[in-house]
Structure 1
């Protein structure tokens, strides 16, 4: 065996051309603090972010794609930053601005939908429209942040930094109408309807069982007795049926002792007698 044959074969390393290309997602997943919807557009993912705002990939109910630029809570609280956002939006072509909120809503973050973006059919035109919309959104946020302003003179002293750069959460937003019925899938809608129907049946069964248990129940307390202005007694006459072979039955009389005056009426009443109203001053 020669030295050449004894050497082990070394596999050549993969060249950059042979390595598989890394797949970069079109957008990053949404975070819990991101709004589910702004205006008529549903958010699908994050395209980018800086201290001035966020870029979102969005789509409306009609299937129209766009890019939304939205301010952060820090930049939205700065009047000068809001003015720069509005000025940057006004500089865009009219056909590039699909929708935006009112700048007079000072309690809400400003946002703008940039497009139009055709449906991704694999053509270069669709990719160009998406890249152009993303670039326009980046220009709007850069105008707010002022990071592309050329340096004038020699830099001296500390670096410039906005006081609101640390507040990078998405700005305040308002959702109206509420999005939860439209965002549900058909399967989720059936599950929600089934849950509501089950709750209604359980409530109806509980009411029916309560009716069966308490329909023959006697009142726990007697009915209230309302005294008359003359302070007379309340008498209840209950006719009784005599047993067979006896004479005519006599009515049973019951008197409320608390309402009988202490003077002028005896403590015991004969059977069959009914007390009458008596003036307490007439003792004889």
Structure 2
């Protein structure tokens, strides 16, 4: 082989080609009505929603990433819709269901965690696991809504609509232990600390301004009456300026209550009974 010949690297024909990973859109932020946690999974964002329920991306304390499907308050109050949710979950492979709540809790919305999903490292395998989990969650909610059942016969009359489709808020949930502060990220912890420090500074500034405003305040007029040790009190009435044409002013009045006399007997003498002085009195 001469130096002028180009050298190319030959790859084996049976080597699989790595296809590029699909770009999966980021989940939407959680809304105030969304639960921060269901079971042992912390919700991170919304993936989708319909009248039957919501899809969330979530993870647990061990770092497992899952997709959580949760019923709305309207579908959770329908016994038939709850049964369809349970049947759809039972049809999934056993290794795909990583957690769910008890179907006997009639006051709570049913939810299920579907996975597993590996960390997003940019590979096609990670994106495939994410898409498979989302598709399974959509199938569960579609089974509740019954929107993928094939139509039998011709379309006649009005369209079918569930009576609970207008109640699309997330269903009732129970959180124990409380989510705060475990769900906070480092950035959220700094924001919370900064907010608490700002509130403390504002309160301290308000107290300082109140002290500056009222430190030279005059005492109340008139001053409160405080009895002396001799059981006397003096009340002074300040004279006011009389109207024009009158020649009198309000004098100062001093009130000195007499002390209680001492030395008087506290009991009546015994041995004598007072008699009636009126001759007409009879017993």
TM-score between the two structures when normalised by the length of structure 1:
0.61
- In the alignment, the residues of structure 2 paired with residue 144 and residue 44 of structure 1 have an alpha-carbon distance, to the nearest angstrom, of 24
Residue 277 of structure 1, CA deviation = 6.0
Q: Matched residue of 1:105: which SS?
A: coil
**Taking structure 1 as reference, are residues 156 and 189 closer, same or farther at Cα in structure 2, changes over 3 Å only?**
closer
TM-aligned CA deviation for residue 115 of structure 1 = 0.5
- Number of the residue aligned with 1:125: 125
Find the counterpart in structure 1 of residue 268 from structure 2: 280
5+ unaligned residues in a row in structure 1: which ranges? 1-22, 206-219, 223-254, 261-273
Query: Secondary structure of the equivalent of 2:143?
Result: helix
1:187 correspondence with 2:218: no
Aligned to 1:37: 37
Residue 95 of structure 1, CA deviation: 1.4
Instruction: From the superposition, tell whether residues 62 and 194 of structure 1 become closer, same or farther in structure 2 (CA, over 3 Å).
Output: farther
Residue 278 of structure 1 deviates from its aligned partner by 4.9
Shift of the alpha carbon at 1:112?
0.7
SS state of the match for residue 95, structure 1? helix
- Residues 24 and 278 from structure 1, CA distance in 2 versus in 1: closer, same or farther, beyond 3 angstroms? closer
- Identify the structure with bigger relative contact order (alpha carbons < 8 Å, sequence gap 6+): 2
What is the DSSP-based 3-state SS (H/G/I as helix, E as strand, rest coil) of the residue aligned with 1:183? coil
Q: TM-score, normalised by structure 2?
A: 0.61
Gaps of at least 5 residues in structure 2 are 1-22, 209-224, 228-257, 273-283
Q: Secondary structure at the match of 1:63?
A: coil
Name the residue aligned to 2:145: 145
Structure 1 CA distance for aligned equivalents of residues 189 and 86 of structure 2: 39
**Are the counterparts in 1 of residues 66 and 115 from structure 2 also a CA contact under 8 Å?**
yes
Distance 2:32 2:79 in 1: 27
Describe the shift of the 1:191–1:183 C-alpha distance in structure 2 as closer, same or farther (beyond 3 A). farther
How far off is 1:199 after superposition?
Answer: 10
TM superposition shift of 1:59: 1.7
Name which of structure 1's ranges 103-112 and 27-36 shifts more when overlaid on structure 2: 27-36
CA distance in 1, matches of 2:67, 2:44: 10
Q: In the alignment, what sits opposite 2:16?
A: none
- Tell me what 1:97 maps to: 97
**Alpha-carbon offset, residue 107 of structure 1:** 1.6
Q: Provide the C-alpha distance between the structure 1 equivalents of 2:69 and 2:259, rounded to a whole number of angstroms.
A: 83
Aligned 1:42-191 pairs, distance under 5 A = 42-184=42-184, 185-188=188-191, 190-191=193-194
The alpha-carbon distance between structure 1 residues 160 and 278, as it changes in their structure 2 partners (threshold 3 A), is closer
Change (3 A) 1:196 1:183: farther
Write the mapping of 1:261-276 to structure 2, written as runs, cut at 5 A.
Answer: 275=263
2:69–2:111: 8 Å Cα contact kept in structure 1? Answer: yes
Give the Cα separation in 2 of the matches to 1:100 and 1:46.
18
The answer on whether the counterparts of 2:24 and 2:127 sit within 8 Å (CA) in structure 1 is no
String of CA shifts for 1:201-254, please: whole Å, max 9, x gaps. Answer: 99xx9xxxxxxxxxxxxxx988xxxxxxxxxxxxxxxxxxxxxxxxxxxxxxxx
